[in-house]
Every structure is written in structure tokens, then in C-alpha cells.
């Protein structure tokens, strides 16, 4: 069992982003939690680690959950970290882990949920609250989407569709809050690489700021609505950012969604923002355009 495998990311290789931080700035302390998921969490973690490979910017520690039989052996000292990167969807965490995470965020820490991490913990009210929109049926809460006029619509609990997705494909992501630090300078519309486009996400959806959306085309099996892709919610003194980009199914060979330059940029910026730090990652010259994807080459 690997638990707290310490990974110091010092090689600026796979994140083609210019960093404006001073040379003597301390790396951001990131805790990546994985161990269970209906998606391929092991390869997803590998891709996330590669995406964050940047000289002295992210110092990542991976905590892989043990089996339920060994829950008592799983300990996390959240005070050592600035932000948590969540790649977990499975059994409910031990109370000490869940309570520790909430206290960490409330005191000023950050949380970034990636893709299926928003599927988790249907019976954990606080997680639903801080995540806002989750993979739930129509009774799981309200739904948010944009109409064609750009107005954010709230569909009440119990009305309309629940969570789902169509076929995987490249799709255009539209920035909805261009002045937000995560989105500042990001092209208004950019083509995200081959990925799964969630629609009909449900939840409390309170105090949410939607940062970007994507049109879930009915011809691809989508909802026919502009669905939230990335958003954030404050919690106490801390911040929670959720992005539903970054799908990787078990056995899937296509890695473009996780190797998209747009995804890498948003991921790094989200971690900085959630941690309460200045967003110093600039928009790279090879950021995707509305017409063309941009993929980080494999090593």
C-alpha cells in the first residue's frame, strides 16, 4: 500500500506555462488524495502529477487511501499543506479525514475537485455544500445552466434531468467570469481536447461563482444546454474549486483531455487560487484557440 508517497516536482517539462513567481518563492504544498474511483484513478494521478511538473512551484504529496479494513491506519495532517487536489470517488472517508478536511478549508486551506471527485459522498452534506454541483439525480438538488442568451438559469430540485454525459469529444469551453483570477487572460472561447462533457449536475449550488461552461450538444448525447465546467465556492476562510474536465476511463487509451494545455493551465491556476495565493501562472502561447486543440506531448 502506498500512503503519503512524497513527490517533489522540480522539472518544468510538461506544463508549457510561464511562471511569474519569484525564483525564491516557496513551492505550493499540495496534497493529492486518491485510492478509489470508478475512473482510472491511478493513471489520472500520474497525469495530474505530470501536469504539475514545474520548477519549485508545486510540491505534491500523494495520499492513497487504504482499504476500508485498514481505515484506522490512514492519517493526514492537513496543516502541512496549502491545498488539497481531490481525485477520489469511493467509500466514505473516516470521520477524522472528513472533519480534518473541512477544518483545513475553513481555516483558509483550499480544495480542488477534478472530474469524478464530484461524484463522491452523496450522504455527506458538507461535501455537497462546498462542491455545489455534483453527479446526482434530479432529487439531489438544483441544477444550473446558461441559456442561449447567456443568462444563468437555476432549475429547481426534482425538475428536469439529472447528471449524465454524452459521447466523448473535443468541445469549446466558454469563460463566464473573465475577471476572476483563474480566468483572467484566458481566451473567451477555447477548444478543449477529447473529453467527457458532464451535464445535469445537481446540488445545493449556493454561493457559487461559475467560471466557465460548455455546450452539451444533443447530437453528441448532451443536454442541449450550456453546462458549468469550472466553478468555485468559498467555505469559511478557504476556497473550493471544482472542474469536471479531466476524464480517464479504465482502459481508455486517449489521454488528450488530461494533456490539454487548457486543462493544465486551469488546473495550476485553480490550485494557486484555492490555496489563497496569487495566481501567477500566465497564459502560454500554445493555449488552445476556439478552432484548434493544444496537447502536451508525452515524454
Give me the pLDDT at residue 10, please: 36
Name the burial class of residue 226, with classes exposed (0-12), middle (13-18) and buried (19+) by CB atoms within 10 angstroms of its CB. buried
Give me the pLDDT at residue 54, please: 57
In sequence order, the 6+-apart residues with CB closer than 8 A to the CB of 103 are 78
Other beta carbons within 10 Å of 131: 28
Q: Which helix (H) or strand (E) holds 32?
A: strand 28-34
Nearest partner of 279 among 80, 20, 10, judged by Cα:
20
Q: How far apart are alpha carbons 250 and 298 in whole angstroms? A: 19
Q: How far apart are alpha carbons 57 and 29 in whole angstroms? A: 9
Which 3 state secondary structure label does DSSP give 175? strand
Nine-digit cell string for 283 = 497564459
User: What pTM did the predictor assign?
Assistant: 0.92
Domains defined along the chain, listed by start: 5-274 (3.40.50.880)
Give me the pLDDT at residue 201, please: 98
The one-character DSSP state at 142 is B
| 194 neighbors 166 (Cβ within 8 angstroms) | no
Per-residue pLDDT tens digits of the chain, which is 299 residues long: 444 444 444 333 334 443 333 334 789 999 999 999 999 999 999 999 999 985 358 999 999 999 989 999 999 999 999 999 999 999 999 999 999 999 999 999 999 999 999 999 999 999 999 999 999 999 999 999 999 999 999 999 999 999 999 999 999 999 999 999 999 999 999 999 999 999 999 999 999 999 999 999 999 999 999 999 999 999 999 999 999 999 999 999 999 999 999 999 999 999 999 999 999 999 999 999 999 999 998 66
Q: How far apart are alpha carbons 133 and 202 in whole angstroms? A: 5
Nearest partner of 176 among 224, 215, 132, 127, judged by Cα:
215
Give me the pLDDT at residue 77, please: 98
Cross-strand bridge partners of residue 152 = 146
Nearest partner of 32 among 97, 86, 80, 99, judged by Cα:
86
Q: How far apart are alpha carbons 170 and 49 in whole angstroms? A: 23
Give me the pLDDT at residue 56, please: 58
Q: How far apart are alpha carbons 146 and 150 in whole angstroms? A: 5
Amino acid at each position: 500500500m502506498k500512503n503519503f508517497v512524497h513527490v517533489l516536482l522540480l522539472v518544468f517539462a510538461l506544463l508549457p506555462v510561464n511562471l511569474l513567481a519569484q525564483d525564491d518563492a516557496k513551492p505550493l504544498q499540495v496534497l493529492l488524495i486518491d485510492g478509489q474511483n470508478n475512473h482510472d484513478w491511478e493513471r489520472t494521478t500520474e497525469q495530474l502529477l505530470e501536469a504539475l511538473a514545474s520548477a519549485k512551484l508545486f510540491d505534491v504529496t500523494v495520499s492513497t487511501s487504504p482499504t476500508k479494513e485498514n481505515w484506522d491506519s490512514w492519517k493526514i495532517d492537513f496543516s502541512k499543506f496549502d491545498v488539497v487536489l481531490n481525485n477520489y470517488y469511493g467509500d466514505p472517508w473516516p470521520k477524522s479525514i472528513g472533519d480534518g478536511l473541512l477544518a483545513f478549508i475553513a481555516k483558509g486551506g483550499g480544495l480542488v475537485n477534478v472530474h469524478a471527485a464530484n461524484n463522491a459522498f452523496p450522504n455527506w452534506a458538507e461535501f455537497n455544500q462546498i462542491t455545489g454541483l455534483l453527479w446526482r439525480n434530479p432529487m439531489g438538488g438544483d441544477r444550473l445552466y446558461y441559456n442561449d442568451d447567456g443568462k444563468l438559469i437555476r432549475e429547481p430540485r426534482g425538475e428536469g434531468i439529472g447528471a449524465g454525459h454524452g459521447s466523448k469529444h473535443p468541445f469549446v469551453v466558454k469563460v463566464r467570469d473573465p475577471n476572476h483570477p483563474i480566468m483572467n487572460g484566458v481566451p473567451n472561447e477555447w477548444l478543449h481536447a477529447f473529453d467527457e462533457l458532464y451535464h445535469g449536475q445537481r446540488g445545493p449550488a449556493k454561493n457559487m461563482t461559475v467560471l466557465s461552461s460548455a455546450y452539451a450538444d444533443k447530437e453528441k448525447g448532451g443536454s442541449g444546454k450550456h453546462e458549468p465546467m469550472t466553478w468555485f465556492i468559498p467555505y469559511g476562510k478557504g476556497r473550493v474549486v471544482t472542474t469536471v474536465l479531466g476524464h480517464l476511463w479504465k482502459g481508455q487509451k486517449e489521454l488528450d483531455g488530461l494533456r490539454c494545455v487548457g486543462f493544465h493551465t486551469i488546473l495550476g491556476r485553480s490550485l494557486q487560487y484555492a490555496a489563497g495565493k496569487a495566481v501567477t501562472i500566465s497564459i502560454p502561447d500554445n493555449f488552445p484557440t476556439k478552432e484548434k486543440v493544444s496537447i502536451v506531448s508525452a515524454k
